[in-house]
């Protein structure tokens, strides 16, 4: 069956003065309609670059070095800018951490929504306004008709993010990519935005990629998780199995480092060191300098992401290879 989205061995590089930096290294995954996937990892892991690559927002000095991005059967990695623009904001919408990445401060939100609609559809101003009001209502903005005439600065941060989601919904996209959508918001507002994302996906028509560093947030919303470290996927599977029984030493480290995972007041399990600078990625498994289970082979050879039936997920780690027979 054809997937909604299929990334095949995507490599994204940045051509810098001192050489090429590989920000995304051989990333593959699939997403179907109604799937909600969390893309997690620490800052610099390559989460945003992965998201940007899907909607063709990698710009110089960055480039997609290899791989395919099949979306509804079309390879987005090899599409020209005009065709991509047609897909962005139409079939695929993106929500950023900062709502002002999407909103234009000098236009009313009504104008912005109407313009987006009319860029993709041949409809009158009245029809566009009616659709805009409908979407604002979906994200629970009170008295949306009046709100159309207001400017972004007249809304609070939480409302702005809801308006961004309303804009993302205008064209009934098949895929929404939300990059840290609640990171800048207070917890009570975050809880509302997460409810909203869940509500929108409940129809089963839309796929969601939720990019975040916050595992607790991911566990509220998603049904599968992809964990990235230094540009590579280290573990990928259902949210429940990964959160309750992480297998990759990095995922284990991340979960055990959370304050909630230990007796209150006791020392936290810390992962020693920090994620490498992508220009100086260690040879072999890039996690080996921080890994408590590091073996000789880990320093020499890079493990491959393989499916382990008994763990119902994909893992990239020699520990697994030694214990079980994985398949690619």
Ligand X SMILES: Nc1ncnc2c1ncn2[C@@H]1O[C@H](COP(=O)(O)OP(=O)(O)O)[C@@H](O)[C@H]1O
To Mg ion, the closest distance from the beta carbon of 214 in angstroms equals 12
State which of residues 6, 8, 14, 111 lies at the interface with ligand X (CB under 6 A): 14
According to CB under 6 A, which residues from 243 to 302 bind ligand X?
278
- The answer to the question of residue 48 lying near Mg ion (CB under 5 A) is yes
Please say which residue, 73 or 142, places its beta carbon nearer to other proteins: 142
Residue closer to ligand X (CB basis): 264 or 280: 280
Q: Which does 5 bind (CB under 5 to 8 A by kind): other proteins, Mg ion, ligand X, none?
A: none
265 binds, among Mg ion, other proteins, ligand X, none (CB under 5 to 8 A by kind): other proteins
Residue 188 binds to ligand X (criterion: CB under 6 A): no
- CA angle, residues 31, 37, 43, in degrees to nearest 5: 125
Q: How far is the CB of 13 from Mg ion (least distance, A)?
A: 17
Binding string, residues 31-70; x marks residues near other proteins by CB under 8 A: -----------xx---------------------------
Residue 249 Cβ vs other proteins, minimum distance, rounded to whole Å: 12
> Under a CB-based contact definition with an 8 Å cutoff, are residues 119 and 89 in contact?
yes
Q: Which of other proteins, ligand X, Mg ion, none sits in contact with 282, Cβ below 5 to 8 A by type?
A: none
Could you give the string, one character per residue 213-242, with x where binding to Mg ion holds by CB under 5 A and - elsewhere? Answer: ------------------------------
Per-residue binding string, ligand X, 16-55, x by CB under 6 A, is -----x-x-----------------x-xxxxxxx------
Q: Residue 208 contacts by C-beta under 8 Å, 6 or more apart in sequence?
A: 35, 36, 37, 175, 176, 177, 178, 197, 200, 201, 221, 222
Q: Restricting to residues 248-267, which ones interact with other proteins according to CB under 8 A?
A: 253-255, 257-262, 264-265, 267
**215 belongs to the binding site for other proteins (CB under 8 A):** yes
What are the residues binding Mg ion (CB under 5 A)? 48
């Amino acid at each position: 069956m054809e997937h909604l989205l299929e990334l095949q061995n995507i490599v994204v590089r940045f051509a810098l003065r001192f050489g090429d930096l590989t920000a995304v290294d051989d990333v593959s995954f699939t997403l179907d309609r109604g799937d909600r996937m969390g893309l997690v990892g620490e800052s610099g892991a390559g989460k945003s670059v992965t998201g940007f690559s899907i909607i063709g927002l990698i710009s110089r000095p960055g480039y997609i070095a290899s791989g395919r991005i099949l979306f509804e059967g079309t390879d987005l990695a090899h599409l020209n800018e005009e065709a991509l623009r047609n897909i962005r904001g139409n079939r695929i919408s993106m929500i950023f951490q900062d709502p002002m990445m999407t909103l234009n401060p000098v236009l009313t939100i009504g104008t912005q929504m109407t313009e987006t609609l009319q860029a993709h559809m041949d409809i009158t101003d009245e029809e566009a306004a009616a659709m805009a009001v409908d979407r604002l209502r979906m994200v629970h903005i009170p008295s949306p008709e009046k709100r159309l005439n207001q400017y972004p600065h007249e809304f609070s941060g939480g409302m702005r993010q809801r308006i961004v989601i309303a804009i993302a919904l205008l064209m009934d996209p098949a895929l929404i990519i939300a990059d840290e959508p609640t990171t800048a918001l207070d917890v009570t507002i975050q809880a509302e935005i997460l409810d909203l994302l869940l509500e929108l996906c409940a129809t089963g028509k839309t796929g969601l990629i939720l990019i975040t560093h916050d595992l607790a947030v991911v566990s509220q919303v998603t049904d599968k998780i992809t964990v990235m470290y230094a540009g590579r996927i280290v573990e990928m599977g259902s949210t429940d199995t990964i959160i309750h029984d992480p297998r990759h030493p990095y995922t284990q480290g991340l979960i055990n480092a959370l304050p909630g995972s230990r007796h209150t007041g006791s020392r936290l399990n810390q992962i020693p060191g920090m994620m490498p600078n992508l220009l100086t990625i260690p040879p072999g498994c890039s996690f080996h300098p921080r890994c408590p289970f590091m073996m000789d082979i880990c320093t020499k050879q890079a493990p491959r992401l393989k499916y382990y039936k008994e763990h119902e997920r994909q893992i990239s780690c020699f520990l697994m290879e030694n214990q079980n027979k994985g398949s690619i």
